[in-house]
A and B are shown apart, each in its own frame.
Chain A
Amino acid sequence: MFTQIKDKFETTPNKGMLFILSIILVIVVTLIAIILLNGLGGKGTTAGPLPTPTAVPGGASTQRKINPAQKTVIEQTTLNEVQTLPSVESKSPLPDGATRYTLKSPLSSRKNEIIVKDNHVVFERMLVPESSKAPGYVRISEYEKEYGKPQQIIRGSHFYGNLIKTYIYADKGFAFIGNSFTDEVFEIHTFIPTTIENYITQYGEDINKSAPAGES
């Protein structure tokens, strides 16, 4: 029996060589493909000037709403859910591949805003209603009671005035703009927990650090 098998191969020496070569070829091609695919996955494809903030170690994530009037939960609400929000007015792409959605707000010249990246929400700006009876109305003292003192408070707002402050809880993934004299929160920002500097760079466009300490 084994003689027959041996004869079989010996009678077809070229085919035997082809068999071995074909096996080697399969292995080589497969390896090349695997290496190339792994290489791509490791590099990422969304480098840009506005990278998603990096989470800081130990930072508490805002995996829940901190205000009932918020439309999204950071990193949970999906692109599809944002697109179906009835208050969406427009959308525009950002350089890093994210998409900014503007939504109706209580003020005509300052809209609510949601940024979606990689199919999930990474930032939301929500203007708090003026009426103390409206859903979502909240006071600074309520947030300070629940979350403690902010990491940093910066006075000066381009939109709301020189005496208005931004209260930053970057490691907890939120900040808000408020009036310390009335205890009112004007707007809330939620984002992936990050550093104070990243928050200011990424989402702190309203902060006016050079504002004088009064109005003339």
Chain B
Amino acid sequence: MRLLTFLLKPKIYFSLAFLSLLPPLYMIFFVLPQQYSPTPVVPLNSLTVSKAKNLFIPQKVYAAGIDFTKYTQSPFNLPTPSGESDIKYESDTLTRANTLGGYVQKHLSYLQGKFSSHPEYIDPFAAVIWDVAIEGTGADPYDWNCQDVQGSSNNVNNGCPNGYSSGGWQVNGIQVSQAASHLAADFQEVYGKTDGATVKSVGDRIISGSSDPKITNPSSFPATDLQTIISANTTESRQLMAILLMDPELGAVAISQEIAGDIGSTGNWVSAMLGWPGSYYSDNMQNFSNRAKYLADNYTGSVTGGGTTGTGGGSYSLDLVLKPTEKDTYVLNKATAQALGGGGGSGTGQGAPPGSVDGQCTPTGTYPADPGGELQSKYKISTDGFGADGIKMIYELATCVSTSKFPTLLGGTSTTVHNAISPSLGSIGMDCDATCNVWIPEGTNAFKFILTHEFGHVLYYTNPRETMHVSEFEDSWNKEGGLSPYSGPYYGGQGGCPTKGAVEDYAEMVAYYLNPTMGGKTGACDSRDNPKNSLFEDTHFPLHLEVAKQVL
């Protein structure tokens, strides 16, 4: 009865009604607005807030931001930013980026001295653009890959058993092979000496600071002077060099020179990048600019962390000095390429391919009675529609290169050389289906060179990539550009040749290597006077030359 009376009290129901209203009211006022609202837009310059308390605060704080306009002008020529960056970099990335630029700024005098004809090619923020916006390494000094050894590319402890010259060792945007020629000088600049004790202290600090993966091979850095390490040129020594390049300050000094070399290759940074194979750069240039603008807005150029003492620690900030660009001069910059390329070419006389006589593609000995028959029996090459002179030319070429790997590489493929242009291409060219065809009219200027070029395509398509060193070639294309106006940007502007890209450059490489005295004037569109053989007479392409030697 008491209970019934209690339950009949109106207050009880008013209270229940009020309590019942709470969930729907909560949904209406709190849940629904969130469901309807768009994804919150993170405002620029606000990303560091959540982690700000964990950041190391530099001794001197600068207002972030530099004018990005400079980088849309010569010699950088990046696209004008349009829209927001698709990546909002985290505070730790921005800190590393600022440190990278700060270290370049710190050694600006040394670096510009190495590019005295074009000091503007050395630019602290360009290093940030390259590492963070373009390469996407996050300016992480421990970012590492080893393209030559698949499957071990993410484990520094496995090292790279080959690839020193191929450029397969890459540390935070620069390859060991590219840094080798100036690493000792750079180390001297950063640490004042290159003796074993100093090198060991730097190396040990890098090893002790590593994680994921932890560097365990070697577990401690040897007390060997740097020049000895560089000269050794062994798997172990190259790994040691890679470890040293993980030093943020040393790495920054090396990277800035690599970028300056890229700019110098054409006098136009974007032009150089657009000439590299694939569509990564051309497809993403606008994104790169937008990202770079975001980085510019957050750029202080202040160094956080340390690395200058060789035993760790230390921090400082640097004033950022932006020098106006005063020159817009096209320069081939061969001296720069020589300095950056880690050796390589020494002008003419680097060695003709086997089988040629003084580099001339004219075989010794007597001609066989049936050169066409020998072409078929030895090389599986048939001819179609050629006269005696045409067959002789083809025979001479095949014989010239017979002691190179050319016959072996061609061995599994039957090829017919037609005295005509390609019906499907409407020009000189090649195609392959069950067998391969090369289309080249008899009497074509530079007949042997162009025929070799087309055979270069045949080799590229009919042999495994490992045999053809395709990844190493791709790297050489990335770093050096194309060997001719036809295949890349290094000679861009010297003729109206349509730039064909890496696939054409591979064929050019084969043609230049197997015709060492040919200047390689690649057609009417090539406006160069007396062009040199890009592999043997131009020091700009040591990586290409190394690949050609390995393949052929």
> In the complex the two chains form, is B471's CB within 8 Å of A106's CB?
yes
Q: A130-B150, A215-B504 are in contact. Are A89 and B137 (CB under 8 A)?
A: yes
> In the complex the two chains form, is B138's CB within 8 Å of A163's CB?
no
Q: What separation, in Å, do the CA atoms of A130 and B21 have in the docked complex? A: 66
Report chain A residues within 8 Å CB of B135. Answer: 89
Contact among A18, A32, A36 for B14, CB-based, below 8 A: A18
Minimal beta-carbon separation of B146 from chain A (angstroms) = 10
Within 8 A of B (CB), among A1-44: 1, 4-5, 8-9, 12, 15-16, 18-19, 22-23, 25-26, 29-30, 32-33, 36-37, 40
Report chain A residues within 8 Å CB of B27. Answer: 33, 37
Q: What separation, in Å, do the CA atoms of A37 and B36 have in the docked complex? A: 10
> In the complex the two chains form, is A213's CB within 8 Å of B431's CB?
yes
> In the complex the two chains form, is A163's CB within 8 Å of B461's CB?
yes
**Interchain Cβ contacts within 8 Å, total number:** 173
Contact among B86, B279, B457 for A159, CB-based, below 8 A: B279
Minimal beta-carbon separation of A181 from chain B (angstroms) = 5
Nearest B residue to A134 by beta-carbon distance?
B150
Report chain A residues within 8 Å CB of B460. Answer: 161
Q: What separation, in Å, do the CA atoms of A18 and B13 have in the docked complex? A: 10
Q: What separation, in Å, do the CA atoms of A93 and B149 have in the docked complex? A: 31
Q: A93-B86, A216-B427 are in contact. Are A5 and B507 (CB under 8 A)?
A: no
> In the complex the two chains form, is B429's CB within 8 Å of A107's CB?
no
Q: CB-CB contacts of B435-467 with A at 8 A, as 1s and 0s?
A: 001000000000000000010010011111110
> In the complex the two chains form, is A214's CB within 8 Å of B424's CB?
yes
Within 8 A of A (CB), among B11-51: 13-14, 17-18, 20-21, 23-25, 27-28, 31-32, 35-36, 39
Asked if B10 is at the interface (CB within 8 A of a chain A CB), the reply is: yes
Q: What separation, in Å, do the CA atoms of A96 and B5 have in the docked complex? A: 60
Within 8 A of B (CB), among A96-141: 97, 102, 104, 106-111, 129-132, 134-137
Within 8 A of A (CB), among B459-503: 460-466, 470-471, 474-475, 478, 503
Asked if B278 is at the interface (CB within 8 A of a chain A CB), the reply is: yes
> In the complex the two chains form, is A32's CB within 8 Å of B24's CB?
yes
Asked if A182 is at the interface (CB within 8 A of a chain B CB), the reply is: yes
Within 8 A of A (CB), among B167-200: 170
> In the complex the two chains form, is A181's CB within 8 Å of B471's CB?
no
> In the complex the two chains form, is A212's CB within 8 Å of B279's CB?
no
> In the complex the two chains form, is A215's CB within 8 Å of B507's CB?
yes
Tell me the interface secondary structure of chain A in the complex. Answer: mixed
Minimal beta-carbon separation of B56 from chain A (angstroms) = 24
Q: What separation, in Å, do the CA atoms of A163 and B461 have in the docked complex? A: 8
> In the complex the two chains form, is B466's CB within 8 Å of A107's CB?
no
Q: What separation, in Å, do the CA atoms of A45 and B34 have in the docked complex? A: 12
Q: A132-B464, A163-B461 are in contact. Are A36 and B32 (CB under 8 A)?
A: yes
Total count of chain B residues near the partner, CB < 8 A: 73
Nearest B residue to A85 by beta-carbon distance?
B154
Q: What separation, in Å, do the CA atoms of A18 and B11 have in the docked complex? A: 10
> In the complex the two chains form, is B154's CB within 8 Å of A129's CB?
no
Nearest B residue to A102 by beta-carbon distance?
B136
> In the complex the two chains form, is A212's CB within 8 Å of B17's CB?
no
> In the complex the two chains form, is A89's CB within 8 Å of B136's CB?
yes
Report chain A residues within 8 Å CB of B279. Answer: 158-159
A-B contact pairs, 8 of them (CB 8 A): A5-B4, A23-B17, A37-B27, A108-B170, A130-B465, A131-B150, A135-B151, A158-B279
Please report B residues at the A interface, Cβ cutoff 8 Å: 1, 4-5, 8, 10, 13-14, 17-18, 20-21, 23-25, 27-28, 31-32, 35-36, 39, 86-87, 135-138, 143, 145, 147, 149-151, 153-154, 170, 212-213, 276-281, 287, 413, 422, 424-425, 427-432, 437, 454, 457, 460-466, 470-471, 474-475, 478, 503-504, 507
Apart from A4-B5, A22-B17, A86-B154, 19 more pairs, CB < 8 Å:
A18-B14, A19-B13, A29-B24, A33-B32, A86-B212, A102-B136, A104-B154, A107-B474, A108-B170, A129-B150, A136-B151, A162-B503, A182-B462, A212-B429, A213-B424, A214-B422, A215-B503, A216-B428, A216-B429
Please report A residues at the B interface, Cβ cutoff 8 Å: 1, 4-5, 8-9, 12, 15-16, 18-19, 22-23, 25-26, 29-30, 32-33, 36-37, 40, 45, 69, 86-87, 89-93, 97, 102, 104, 106-111, 129-132, 134-137, 158-163, 179, 181-182, 184, 186, 212-216
